Amino acid sequence: MRIILLGPPGAGKGTQGRHLAERYGLPVIATGDIFREQIAKGTPLGLQAKESVDRGEYVPDDVTTKMVLARLEEPDAREGFILDGFPRTVPQAQALERALAAAGRPLSAVLNFKIPDELAVKRLMARIVCPNCRRSYNKEFKPPRVAGICDVCGHALESRSDDDEATIRRRLEIYHRETKPLVLYFWERGLLRDIDAEAPEEVVADRTIEAIADLTEDYG
Ligand code: ADP
């Protein structure tokens, strides 16, 4: 199964990606997580990405595409993968499509998580994340059991540096301009389903599984 999670920041792609990874036994490849990890380690890739990530802008297509296509060649992704945060532009989608076609590994499903911008802003401003296991929580909607501590791994939670209001609005603006066209792109290829992502996490998870079953005719 080769799955793409599409949708604006704050739509819940990371959370749903985790559910799908457990259900299907596939790796989640989240470009934002990879960039943040590389930035924290100060690698050459991290240095290339840092300025864009800090500003809420996209890292250049060539840098991002090269990184993801290399990641897809790793053994754990041979049987399938869940892409969270890639592709985000039409050139990225075209490069991915070419690479997968050349390898005889076509896409299975593209899930388009939909939420209104104002809800995205609200969710992200109250978001806290675990830098260790990458789970995310929300001070208002989904607090951890102990304030400031990850339920699962016990690490201290923190806010992401790009989750301030101005940067969130910039990310949304860029999403509408650069990434929204991918909805039509994948719809025309018969690969896309919309998911109303305003509902509670478990409801969205059920809708996601139904949409995948519908696209792949795999009802197991
Ligand atoms: P969110 O979906 O909440 O905006 P992510 O964690 O997916 O955040 O990504 C964080 C940042 O990483 C983005 O704002 C951008 O700078 C960079 N990034 C992630 N994926 C891509 C991509 N496919 N192309 C370019 N930049 C990307």
Chain centroid to CA 66: 17
Q: Which residues contact 173 (CB under 8 A, 6 or more apart)?
A: none
- What pLDDT is stored for residue 217 in this prediction? 84
pTM, rounded to two decimals:
0.94
Active site residue ranges: 13, 88, 127, 160, 171
* For residue 81, pLDDT beyond 70: yes
pLDDT greater than 90 at residue 98: yes
Residue 214 Cα to ligand 1 midpoint, Å, equals 28
Token pair 């603006």 in the structure block, residue: 173
Residues in Cβ contact with 147 at an 8 Å cutoff, skipping those fewer than 6 apart: none
CA of 31 to the centre of ligand 1 (A): 6
- Average pLDDT, stretch 84-102? 98
User: What would the pLDDT profile of 5-49 be if each residue is shown by its tens digit?
Assistant: 999 999 999 999 999 999 999 999 999 999 999 999 999 999 999
Cβ atoms 129, 20 nearer than 8 A: no
Alpha carbon distance 62, 201 (integer Å)? 34
> What span, in angstroms and rounded, lies between the C-alpha atoms of 81 and 11?
20
Q: Which atom of ligand 1 is nearest to the CA of 84?
A: 7
For the chain, counts of helices (H) and of strands (E) = 9, 7
**56: pLDDT strictly greater than 80:** yes
DSSP assignment string, 45-85 = HHHHHHHHHHHTPPPPHHHHHHHHHHHHTSGGGTT-EEEES
Tell me, what's the pLDDT at 199?
A: 94
Find the 190 Cα to ligand 1 centroid distance in Å: 25
Overall average pLDDT of the 181-188 stretch: 98
Residue 149 clears pLDDT 60, i.e. is over it? yes
* 3-class SS of residue 200: coil
Centre of ligand 1 to C-alpha 85, Å, is: 6
Q: Which residues line ligand 1 (CB under 6 A)?
A: 9, 31-32, 35, 52-53, 56-59, 64, 85-86, 88, 92, 162, 171
**CA proximity to 68, closest of 56, 57, 77, 58:** 77
Residue whose pair of structure tokens reads 């039509």 in the numeric block: 184
pLDDT reading at 111 higher than 80:
yes
- 18, 39, 59: residue to mutate for ligand 1 pocket, most atoms within 8 A of CB: 59
Residue 83 CB burial class (10 angstroms; 0-12, 13-18, ≥19): buried
Mean pLDDT of 97-110: 96
Ligand 1 atom nearest the C-alpha of 162 is: 14
User: In whole numbers, what is the pLDDT of the chain averaged over residues?
Assistant: 96
User: Given a cut of 70, is residue 158 above it in pLDDT?
Assistant: yes
Pairing of strands 127-129, 136-138: antiparallel
